[in-house]
Chains A and B, each alone.
Chain A
């Protein structure tokens, strides 16, 4: 009897063990299986070299330079003499041994994978360390491809730069196959075409034992180099614009209106991306980040009041609606009364009786106030949108802003106020709430240069021919072109400084009141020589009159273009 009780107790305990085995091996088996795989399999990634970015004539704009890194392989190090090793290495690198020790700890991964101690050391230092290798057990020189931006400041805003992924970005990027600690594009084409440029990292899948020693190479996948990027940029033109700006705040863009290819896109002041990718230059990086002129900012994609360059939109809306024609003229006495207030034309003495052609050539405000009030806010606004203002241009660069094309509804929703006739008058001459980017202005120039086609700017060469949609009636565009021709070619034109002999240039100046300080200066248009055409926009932030410095810069661009 008592033996049976004893037997039942023992049987019950055995059953408990069996139930536990069932729980661990059958119910949770997969979980333990995964943990056992994690125990034995290690991945050692091998980075792919990034694709090269070229200009339109296949001139490389970046290169992958051979760089020398100092790494430690923990497995090969003498564990007891680490401090001596680091301080000896410190003498070569001219850094404190303790700093190296700290770097070692923070970069440590596995006992067999190299730990980065110092990256991009000078070639001479690398050779010295290589010679003393026997004195530095576990220390190795590893070569790697380092990004170099050949034209540094000249094309910084187009190309951008790269950097290590930040922790917060990982969850979002994980979906696209990125891995933690990956280097990713931070700005410019490096960012927007990162998926193409980065290639596919390869790596080794290793089987290791409990000590971390390699038992087996389970698989190896060589890295796949990133694809190259062929841009439409003309780096020499870009260089010329860089020199012309000489640090003045602003932007300039040049485009071929036949296919939308961007030949130059420059934002000033610029920065040297080579500094930003070199962590050792943290002081210089700090200077760039703290610069009050915000050099990292791409002004070609930011939005500003356009001023008079917008008058071409008002003119087209009026022509299209049949409110004016080539013969219509309005009198400018130098001032204009609207309700209780009086507005002055920029020419106090007045332009007299002006036709559309003369109004564009002389940029007469009174003409466009009157025309604008006739057309009304609604039609100006819809025409501006048709011409690509108020929305992003689709140029594949990060950070583009859409700007503002106001109308009655917009004002009610955003400002919570009624739309006044004064708003329409401001709108008609490109003032008030209207904000556009230099790239959008370039699109506008494209519409006029092409005689009314939509030109979508692109920065990457493509075999696909753009089908250009007609968005404006050519016969009205031609009337505007006439006025823009006179801006440069007639004696009373506002943009005569852009004149280059033998070249037909059609342009419009803009001088937009913008808060305190000098007005924003714009110069937008296109040039024609034989059958070649280019569109350009030059913008100077608080740069004064559009017919001055911007027209001069445009002159250089046009001269370059006609010589090449």
Chain B
């Protein structure tokens, strides 16, 4: 226990500080967003989330203690385990919102798709770290591609479009920093763009609806466009100072669906105004910059790539979630890291933070 505390001291102060502020801000926002729900269901959302934050932080510190090199050596095994979970989800998963995302292990339900992202980063970091020159040849790229495509396809089949999409920029950032040849990189991006129409064919009906509604939210203002419109109204009507905590009418009068999970940023926008949204965005940007700084200072390729992968993953989560609440991106199920209510995403994100802190603590500095 004592050593845990002494290790805690060695952890990156900036990341811990930013996280602490985000947790506080998040819990305050969650209290307001879940206020009505708590009254009607009696469930204490803030208490639950607080507990998971504490457990998640302990998990993060535990992960940070053991040098990431040990984790790298078992990374393929853990990755393989999660791929197995994903297949399990497809066979016997619980259905939520038209998609199968959940399985239950030992009575605890969780979403393997949230965790597999972290372990994909680890597996990729190991593969590229073991043989950095693999990014220099076409043949060498096949391995990293398979590692990212396998979970992507499985998650996409659930179907969980948002989570599947996140892996793509994470992969691109890692091979980019890993030293891929510029012309290969360009070729990958180009072929990605060209294959977009093909992608449409694989989408489910409701996903196409969401994408169509994203293009024109007013096409179906009471159906799929409702959430986007209400979210925009909530954020915009917050104006500069916001309507005040617990005073957002869009929030408290239930005009905003999914507001304690995916649309919690709309509640922040409505009740805290431009000041609140800027503050939150700033905290996230600080976290991202710090993560990239850690990567910059890490010479070891695997460590550097873990930091890059995790930082990019968090940044993409933030960008997609906020973009979605602002109507800039289609509505895909994507929680806001550390703020949205939900155990799996929170725990997975804190595991990711654990690895980031691990790299900062255990990196080899030449």
Contact = CB atoms under 8 A, between A and B. Distances in A.
Interface of A: 2-3, 5-7, 10-11, 13-14, 16-18, 20-22, 24-26, 28-33, 35-37, 39-40, 207-211, 215
A157 to B, nearest CB: 50
B269 A3 contact: no
Q: Is chain A's interface secondary structure helix, strand, loop, or mixed overall?
A: helix
A32 B236 contact: yes
Contacts of B249: 36-37, 39-40
A26 B255 CA distance: 22
Nearest to B318: A14
A32 B249 CA distance: 12
A302 B315 CA distance: 81
Contact of A20 (B179, B315, B326): B326
Q: Which 5 A-B pairs have the closest CB atoms?
A: A32-B236, A29-B239, A36-B237, A209-B253, A24-B236
Contact of B236 (A7, A29, A37): A29
Contacts of A13: 315, 319
Nearest to A209: B253
Contacts of B319: 10, 13-14, 17
B234 A36 contact: yes
Contact of B281 (A21, A26, A36, A215): A21
Interface string B266-299: 0001100110011001001100110010011000
A210 B237 contact: no
Contact of B254 (A7, A21, A210): A210
Contacts of A10: 285, 288, 292, 312, 315, 319
A30 B239 CA distance: 7
Contacts of A7: 288-289, 292
Contacts of B284: 14
B236 A25 contact: yes
Interface in B66-123: none
A21 B277 contact: yes
B233 A3 contact: no
Contacts of A32: 232-233, 235-237, 239
Given A17-B281, A24-B235, A30-B239, A40 B253 contact: yes
Given A3-B292, A6-B176, A25-B277, A209 B255 contact: yes
Interface in B174-200: 176-177, 179
Contacts, number: 116
A208 to B, nearest CB: 7
Given A6-B312, A208-B253, A36 B233 contact: yes
A17 to B, nearest CB: 5
Contact of B235 (A21, A208, A209): A21
A37 B243 CA distance: 12
19 contacts: A2-B177, A3-B295, A13-B319, A17-B281, A17-B323, A18-B281, A21-B235, A21-B281, A25-B235, A25-B240, A25-B274, A29-B238, A31-B236, A36-B234, A36-B270, A39-B255, A40-B255, A209-B254, A210-B253
A308 B257 CA distance: 83
Nearest to A28: B236
A133 B304 CA distance: 75
Interface of B: 173, 176-177, 179, 230, 232-240, 249-250, 253-255, 269-270, 273-274, 277-278, 281, 284-285, 288-289, 292, 295-296, 308, 312, 315, 319, 322-323, 326, 328
Contacts of A209: 253-255
B177 A6 contact: yes
A24 B273 CA distance: 10
A387 to B, nearest CB: 66
B239 A33 contact: yes
A26 B237 contact: no
Contact of B274 (A2, A26, A31): A26
A513 to B, nearest CB: 68
A205 B237 CA distance: 20
Given A10-B315, A33-B239, A39-B249, A24 B232 contact: yes
A37 to B, nearest CB: 8
Given A17-B319, A17-B323, A215-B253, 5 more contacts: A16-B328, A29-B236, A33-B239, A39-B253, A207-B253
Contacts of B240: 25-26, 29
A167 B150 CA distance: 63
A24 B289 contact: no
A13 B285 CA distance: 10
Contacts of B179: 2
A204 to B, nearest CB: 17
B285 A25 contact: no
Contacts of B326: 17, 20-21, 24
Contacts of A31: 236
A211 B274 contact: no
B269 A25 contact: yes
Contacts of A18: 278, 281
B251 to A, nearest CB: 10
Contacts of B173: 6
Contacts of A3: 177, 292, 295-296, 308
Given A6-B308, A21-B269, A29-B240, A35 B233 contact: yes
A211 B255 CA distance: 8
B176 A33 contact: no
A33 B237 contact: yes
Nearest to A30: B239
A208 B315 CA distance: 38
A418 to B, nearest CB: 68
Contacts of A33: 236-237, 239
Contacts of A30: 239
A189 to B, nearest CB: 46
B250 A36 contact: yes
B237 to A, nearest CB: 4
B236 to A, nearest CB: 3
A321 B43 CA distance: 102
B18 to A, nearest CB: 14
Given A17-B281, A21-B281, A207-B253, A39 B233 contact: yes
Given A7-B289, A11-B285, A20-B328, A39 B232 contact: no
Contacts of A35: 233, 236-237
Contacts of B274: 21-22, 25-26
